[in-house]
Amino acid sequence: MAESSTDILQGTLDLLILKTLSFTDNHGWGIAQRIQQVSRDVLQINQGSLYPALYRLERQRWISSYWGSSENNRRAKFYSLTARGRKTLGSETERWRRFAQAVDLVLAVE
Amino acid sequence: MNWRPDLHDREVEEELRFHLEMEAEKNRAAGMSEDDARRAARRSFGGVRRVQEEIRDLRRTRAVELLLRDLAYGWRSLRRAPAYALTTIVTLGLAVGVFAAMLTFIEGALLRPLPHREPERVVTLWETNLASGETQLAVSPANFLDWQQRTTVFESFGLVSDHGLDIRRGDRVESIPAGRISLDYFRTLGIAPVAGRLFEPRDFDRGAEPGVILTRRFWVEAFGGDRALIGRTIEVDGKPARVLGVVPDHADHAAVYGVYAPLQLYPGEKTSRSGHWMYAAARLRPGVTHTQARGDLTRVAEMIARENPQTNEALRVRAIPLRETVLGRTQRLLLALGLGSLFLLVLACANVAALALARGAARRRELAIRVSLGASLGRIVRQLATESAMLNAAAAVLAWIVAAGVVVWMSSNAPAGLRRLDDVNTGAFTLGATLVIALFSTLLSGVLPAFRLARLGLSRDLEGTRRAAGLSRGEARLQGGLVVAQIALALLLLTGAGLLTRSIQKLTANDLGFDPHGVATIQMYLYDTHPDRNERVSFVRTSLDAMRAMPGVVAAGASSSLPFNPATEARDEFEILGRPRRAGESLTMFTTAITPGYLETMSMRVVEGRGFTEKDDASSPLVAIVNEAAARRFWNASPLGTKVRTGIMGPPREWTVVGVVGDTRKSDYAQEPRPEIFVPVAQGGSRVGGLNYVARTTTSARPLVDAMQRKIWELTPSQAISEADTMSKLVARSLQTQRFALLMISGFGVVALLLSSTGLFGMLSYVAARRRTEVGVRMALGATPKTIRALFLRRGMTLAALGVAAGLVVSAWFTRMLATFLYDTSSFDLVALGGVTATTVLVALLASWLPARKIAALDPNSVLRAE
């Protein structure tokens, strides 16, 4: 059943989370930090929408979660990419690329 | 799915707290103070509570969404298997509905208390005849008075005798079944008035103002339950009578009365020991047992027999507990039907469970895939249970319709002999019973298999360690036994239905001796409206002429006694003149007064001599006609011209036999014709006054019934008409009990047959589904579809044969219980047994053929590849 993820920003956030988790399992705060870091602080994650997004992705079975201990030895909820999520990441990345190219093409018209 | 929301909430909270602490730590590292770091962390997060709420909402919509998804999934998968869905719905719907209906009857007729005070202390009293074997005779007044005086165990006695009373309502007068009762009648039974009062001694005084008591039903039907009626007068038998009170509906002896009036015993009646025409009841003294009461009554009855050997030698007395008198037959029927329908329900649940298992086994692969994709055991159980709940909901709706239908049908078609069935209505109880039973059957037939299936899907196929094999031995034996039991039960019931059908066929094949079709009849008592005998006879003549003039009427006549209306029978002693009477011999015949035209209207044959004409009147020589049964029995040669001395509703006179008519069945199809003598109404005794008018039409008799009544009221507006119906209806009524038994038993039989066929079908489908792999291998190794089909058919037919054999053995015993309903049909009637066996085998064959064909159409490649 399709989730209501037509919102382009939300869709983008999902993609960023999946990409971030494709390197290593991480907790919510770590994911936010990592996205900010990698985008050189261009992408500021609205932290309030991060956790609902994580919940949704888990329900789609694209990511799964477990309780582990963080770098500073605190109990934290970690997320990891499932096989299904990895597949989705591939197709979503492809879709994003096509979308970005198309937007570029349109903007390039003088 | 997490079903512990508090735990889930706590997890979210902990996760968010961790986030905030990490954020604050980062801020601290950047040089903020402890407080600032925390505040900044909160600010950048933008509302912890809002996020928590948002996640909780997501989870809630998820639960509804899951349910909707289960429903949609269930709907899709059921639409792919309409035969399965339909079988389940019909099986459960029928079984649950029938059981709910039976419970409704048990509650309404048996569990509802009787209106009597301490009914366990009340007995009804009957005379028994040791010589003739009659066990429930009405009571003669002199014997009753002796019991009353000589027994010591009873507190009080009550007496009632059947009577019709003509009651005026508006401009119509109706003849209402009435009981004339003794003073203590209601007190003995323990019936208290719901309004007004009971009879008191002064109501029995000679010259007292006439008073009546109404039953509640008649009070409501005739007077709208008007309380103001009590204390006012109504017209009874043409005279005013005061309505003293209203009593609850109760039926304690033979008839259901609308009105009660005081009973006056005349001196002559008080000494009669041979006329049995009253009904008696008695109330035991406190502490007296029924056994003691029977002993005391027997002692007194033997005493009376010694004192009056000529009338009472063979007569004894019998006391039956009130509850048994009123509800005995009803209770036996309802308990049998209730037990039977419970049995059917259990079988139906077992069948539906077996069907669900069979279907589930075929879906193992689908379930296994779902499990491997991460569906939990609970999730799968939920999904299967949702599917079965959908089926059960549909079945419950069907069951409610079936239950209501059965209740309405049974209560409106119940024969009068089965008391209180007609009082039962559908209502909250039926609905409640249906729902509870449906819920119960859902648990039994839906949830259990769902668990078993889910486990099957998990353990066998997910791990892939064990290939699904056939059924285990125990399972196979249980299911096989279930199927055999069902087929046996179905055969049993159908045999009963078959024998009853044959009986009714044979009964209705009997020649009635008259033709009821197209004949309408109305019954009247003319004494009160036409008290003068001569005037009455001329009224009969003119009113019959008026009827003959009505359009469509081809013949009309009247008779003091009508076939299939035993209430009008009369019997009298007679003597054939010139033939010596043997000592002690007493000859009796039915005596009937008829008018010219009666024999023609009824299409009775005149075998010898002539019928009556208008010339046979009071002034001409007395003439009579006898039937063939009388001629055979009492005359060696032709009776024509001989003289018979007898009284026909008057003092004895001498009649010359002028004709012989064909025999007619008198009260029902089964009874052999009995000797009967006919005389003209115009010559009959002064008591001839209760007459049945009959008229024959070439078209439909039903409208003629009303037309005849209108004609009578045109001539005598105050005339009461007690029975108005078509002759065919009267004849059909005599078969009511047999037909009712037939319908009930064949209804159950058909349900049982349906169940056993779905049971067989379900079991074979299950076996087939579990043995797919084996069949695939066999086919790959060269087995043809034909041999596979034969394999499964053989299994089905073996079970069917076992069931039929068991059913035949048990039915030999069962049909003996039906003996009282059977006529001229042995329990081993070959036509009935053959027909029933053939039907059962044929249905079993069909039920095995379908799964056999399906498995034989299997493509071995696909099965083996899938493995």
ipTM of the complex: 0.83
CA nearest A33 in B: which residue? B23
**Helix B377-413, helix B364-372: angle, nearest 10:** 140
pLDDT exceeds cutoff 90 at B153: yes
Phi and psi, residue B176, nearest 5°: -110, 135
pLDDT at residue B464 is higher than 50: no
Higher confidence at residue B156 or residue B255? B156
- The better pLDDT of the pair B686, B593 is held by B593
Task: Report the Cα–Cα distance between both ends of chain A, in Å, rounded.
Answer: 42
The backbone torsions φ and ψ at residue A77, rounded to the nearest 5 degrees and listed phi first, read -90, 120
Q: Is A47 on the interface with B (CB under 8 A)?
A: yes
The contacts of residue B60 (CB under 8 Å, 6+ apart) are none
Determine contact, residues B491/B807, Cβ cutoff 8 Å: yes
pLDDT of residue B466: 40
What residue type is B593 in one-letter code?
A
Q: Which one has a higher pLDDT value, B371 or B657? A: B657
Q: How far is B29 from chain A (nearest CA, A)?
A: 14
User: Residue B59 and residue A55: Cβ atoms within 8 Å?
Assistant: yes
Q: Is the pLDDT of residue A103 over 70?
A: yes
How many contacts does A have with B, using Cβ atoms within 8 A? 55
* Terminal Cα-to-Cα distance of chain B (whole angstroms): 32
Give the model's confidence band at B135: pLDDT under 50 very low, under 70 low, under 90 confident, else very high: confident
What integer best gives the mean pLDDT of chain B? 84
pLDDT higher than 70, residue B3: no
How many CB atoms within 10 Å of residue B433?
A: 23
Chain B residues in contact with chain A using a Cβ-Cβ cutoff of 8 Å: 11-12, 14-16, 18-19, 21-23, 25-26, 44-47, 50-51, 54-55, 58-59, 62, 65, 69, 374
pLDDT of residue B860: 76
On the 0-12 / 13-18 / 19+ scale of CB atoms within 10 A, B397 is middle
Q: Give the chain A residue nearest B373 (alpha carbons).
A: A61
Tell me the CA distances in angstroms from B516 to B564, B665, B736, one per residue in order: 10, 12, 17
B788-830 per-position pLDDT tens digit: 888 889 988 999 999 999 988 888 777 776 776 677 787 778 8
Measured CA to CA, the distance from residue A58 to residue B385 in angstroms comes to: 26
Give the whole-angstrom CA distance, residue B184 versus residue B122: 13
Q: Considering only CA atoms, which of B862, B760, B777 is closest in space to residue B469?
A: B777
Angstroms from B55 CA to nearest CA on chain A: 6
Q: Are B297 and B317 in contact (CB under 8 A)?
A: yes
- Indicate the burial class of B286 (C-beta count within 10 angstroms; 0-12, 13-18, 19 or more): exposed
Torsion of CA B737, B739, B745, B751, to 10 degrees: -140
Q: Which is nearest to B135 in space by CA: B316, B302, B293?
A: B316
Give CA separation, B157 vs B180, B214, B271, B292, B622, in Å.
Answer: 14, 21, 18, 17, 47
Composition of chain A by helix, strand, coil, percent to 5? 60, 15, 25
Biggest alpha carbon–alpha carbon distance for chain A: 56
Cβ–Cβ < 8 Å for A69, A87: no
Helix (H) or strand (E) run with residue B174 in it: strand B172-181
Residues of chain A found within 8 Å of residue B62, distances taken between Cβ atoms: 59
Question: Taking CB atoms and an 8 Å limit, are B55 and A52 in contact across chains?
Answer: yes
Six-digit token pair at B141?
């007044």
Determine whether the interchain pair B19/A29 forms a contact, defined as Cβ–Cβ distance below 8 Å. Answer: yes
Q: Yes or no: say if A29 and B18 are a contact pair by the CB < 8 Å rule.
A: yes
Please spell the DSSP secondary structure of B601-635, one letter per residue: HHT--EEEE----TT-STTSPPEEEEEHHHHHHH-
The C-alpha atoms of residue B441 and residue B95 are separated, in whole angstroms, by 10
Q: Say if CB B584 and CB B555 are below 8 A apart.
A: no
Cα B230 to chain centroid, rounded = 36
Quick one: pLDDT band at residue B124, thresholds 50, 70, 90? very high
* A69-73, B278-282, B283-287: the lowest-pLDDT one: A69-73
Q: Which amino acid is at B166?
A: D
Q: How many helices (H) and strands (E) does chain B have?
A: 26, 21
* Rounded-to-integer distance, Cα A91 and Cα B263, Å: 101
